[in-house]
Amino acid sequence: MAVRGRRSAGIGITVVVLAAAIFALAQCAESLPRSEEVTRSVWLTFDAAKAAYDEVKPGETSVEALKKMGYDPYGDNNVRVMSYLDINRLFVAGDSKTTASIPAAVRACLDAQAECLGYGVNLEHINRKRVGSTFLDLLNFRRKTHETGWSFRAVFVIHKDYVVYKLWSGAPKIDRQTDRENPLGPIQEPVDVIKKAMP
């Protein structure tokens, strides 16, 4: 009887400890993972990147001036040099051979081939924070992620050392949330890992 009583007491203590640990995890949202994805550049905000873009004047801005503004593929981070073939792919969709919709300045640049190039930037600043129940998150039953930040992309078409065309796109404010539920919890995680590892 005494042995059985000690076993029951031991089980009771274990249950209490586990319950306390689970409750602590569920209440501690700060223990959830966070991450930050930043494309290094001279511009730290969307407004700064857009302001630099606005300073570029097609037909007037030279390559040297472009570099002084921060668009220097050899001196600054993440400014990509594009060939005329890269530029052509931007303006000709799919397998279409038509050039009627391509701006005249870009067509003239593409015709020059070796004398035509582009500078491209693709900037992102994304903060990811897992939110919700720590207990459900750690056991992979439910993972909610909140993403905030901004993105900015720009292309400058350069012909004979002068910018002849420019275009931009982006998101001044990113604010989105993903919610993934896994009914099998931790049992489902190995399957996800295998899928991610597959080519």
119-139 pLDDT, tens digit each: 999 998 888 777 655 655 565
d(CA 149, CA 170): 11
Does the structure show a pLDDT above 60 at 57? yes
pLDDT at residue 164, rounded to an integer: 97
> Residue range 177-191: average pLDDT?
60
Stated as kind and residue range, the H or E segment containing 181 is strand 162-181
Average pLDDT over residues 177-199: 53
Give the burial class of 79: count Cβ atoms within 10 A of its Cβ; 0-12 exposed, 13-18 middle, 19 or more buried.
buried
Which pLDDT score, from 0 to 100, does residue 176 have? 76
Q: How far apart are CA 14 and CA 34, in angstroms?
A: 32
The amino acid sitting at 59 is G
**Mean pLDDT computed over 39-49:** 84
Average pLDDT over residues 191-199: 41
* Cβ atoms of residues 109 and 102 within 8 Å: no
Cα 71 to Cα 153: distance, rounded to the nearest angstrom: 12
> Which pLDDT value is given to residue 118?
96
Token pair, residue 12, equals: 């009771």
Tokens standing for residue 166: 């420019």
Q: For the segment 69-96, what is each residue's pLDDT rounded down to a tens digit?
A: 989 998 866 899 999 999 999 888 655 5
pLDDT computed for residue 194 by the predictor: 39
Cα gap 120→81, rounded to integer Å: 6
Q: Is 122 helix (H, G, I), strand (E, B) or coil?
A: strand
3-state secondary structure of 150: strand
Instruction: Please check whether residue 134 is in contact with residue 95, taking contact to mean a CB–CB distance below 8 angstroms.
Output: no
Structure tokens at 94: 């799919």
| Weakest-pLDDT range from 130-139, 166-175, 176-185 | 130-139
What end-to-end distance do the CA atoms of the chain give, in Å? 60
Domain ranges in the chain are: 1-31, 33-197
